[in-house]
């Protein structure tokens, strides 16, 4: 770095020989940029591999842009992203394909390799398997039709609510709570299963504990039962 100094030496005034007056002018200096630094980033020569770009020099942080930002002789080292082909355009990349490194996803590629069949959009980790007779592993988890999200031992193809572990075929069902806990498919407001909901819950059955009592049932006279 080159510095230019401008100085005016002290001036001495003699008055007879009895006194000497000494006056000092300020010493000024001007700092000039690094010699040969064309882009004004404070670096030149071997420390600046592109002296036309102030963002490129030996002190810069490498970013993914196709440029050797920090002048270490490597481009985008440790900052690229892996991409895989997504031929079926379901958002999941081919797990059997080779990855391509880059800063942005090329057309037709995504940043994951989770698709077990990239020729069919029905196959990917987000697929739901709800048909117990279908032999295909649609959700790529290595099993067939046995997604059991709630962990109750019943797969989604058998469980009427696979997000609730207390709901599954054969579970204890509490009447009148609005939940078909046993997955029977019948109304939760028809405890006697006669096809009529209790009148206490908006139905027409005046006795929901007796399946022989409901609108339209045969009435036996003089038995005291409506």
Residue 217 to residue 11: CA distance in whole angstroms: 130
Domains of the chain: total: 3
Tokens of residue 66, six digits = 């196709």
* pLDDT for 22: 44
Domain contains 168: yes
The Cα 203–Cα 220 span in angstroms is 23
Domain presence at residue 40: no
HSE-up of 148 (CA within 13 Å, CB side)?
Answer: 13
User: Does residue 28 have a pLDDT over 60?
Assistant: no
For residue 85, list its beta bridge partners: 109
State the pLDDT at residue 218. Answer: 72
Of 23-32, 52-61, 210-219, where does mean pLDDT reach its minimum?
Answer: 23-32
Domain that holds residue 200: 191-216
- Does 176 fall in a domain? yes
Beta bridge partners of 81: 102
Residue 159 falls inside a structural domain: yes
Q: What is the DSSP pairing of strand 19-23 with strand 11-15?
A: antiparallel
- Tell me if 134 is assigned to some domain: yes
| 50 inside domain | no
For the record, the structure tokens of 124 come out as 């990917």
Mean pLDDT over each residue of the chain, to the nearest integer: 82
Note whether 143 and 85 are same-domain residues.
yes
Same domain, 115 and 143: yes
pLDDT band at residue 207 using 50, 70 and 90 as cut-offs? confident
Please state which of the ranges 97-101, 113-117, 144-148 shows the lowest mean pLDDT.
Answer: 144-148
65 belongs to a structural domain = no
Which of 89, 122, 147 lies at the terminal end of a domain, its last residue?
A: 147
Report the pLDDT value the prediction gives residue 223, as an integer from 0 to 100: 59
Encode pLDDT of 85-101 as tens digits. 999 999 999 999 999 99
Closest CA relative to residue 92, chosen from 129, 117, 66, 59: 117
pLDDT tier at 137, thresholds 50, 70, 90: very high
| 201 and 177 share one domain | no
Q: Is residue 53 part of a domain?
A: no
CB-count exposure of residue 10 (10 Å: 0-12, 13-18, 19+)? exposed
């Amino acid at each position: 770095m080159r510095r230019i100094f401008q100085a005016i030496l002290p001036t001495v005034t003699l008055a007879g020989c009895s006194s000497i007056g000494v006056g000092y002018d300020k010493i000024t200096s001007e700092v000039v940029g690094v010699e040969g630094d064309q882009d004004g980033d404070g670096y030149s020569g071997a420390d600046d591999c592109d002296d036309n770009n102030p963002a490129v020099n030996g002190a810069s942080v490498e970013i993914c842009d196709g440029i050797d930002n920090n002048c270490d002789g490597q481009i985008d080292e440790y900052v690229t992203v892996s991409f895989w082909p997504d031929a079926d355009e379901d958002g999941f990349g081919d797990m059997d394909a080779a990855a391509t490194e880059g800063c942005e996803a090329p057309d037709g590629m995504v940043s994951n390799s989770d698709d077990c069949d990239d020729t069919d959009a029905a196959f990917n980790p987000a697929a739901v398997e709800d048909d117990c007779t279908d032999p295909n592993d649609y959700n790529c988890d290595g099993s067939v039709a046995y997604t059991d999200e709630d962990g109750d031992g019943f797969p989604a193809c058998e469980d009427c609510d696979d997000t609730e572990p207390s709901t599954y075929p054969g579970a204890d069902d509490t009447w009148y709570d609005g939940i078909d806990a046993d997955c029977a498919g019948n109304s939760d407001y028809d405890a006697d299963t006669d096809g009529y909901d209790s009148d206490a819950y908006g139905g027409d059955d005046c006795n929901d504990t007796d399946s022989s009592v409901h609108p339209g049932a045969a009435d036996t006279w003089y038995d005291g039962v409506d």
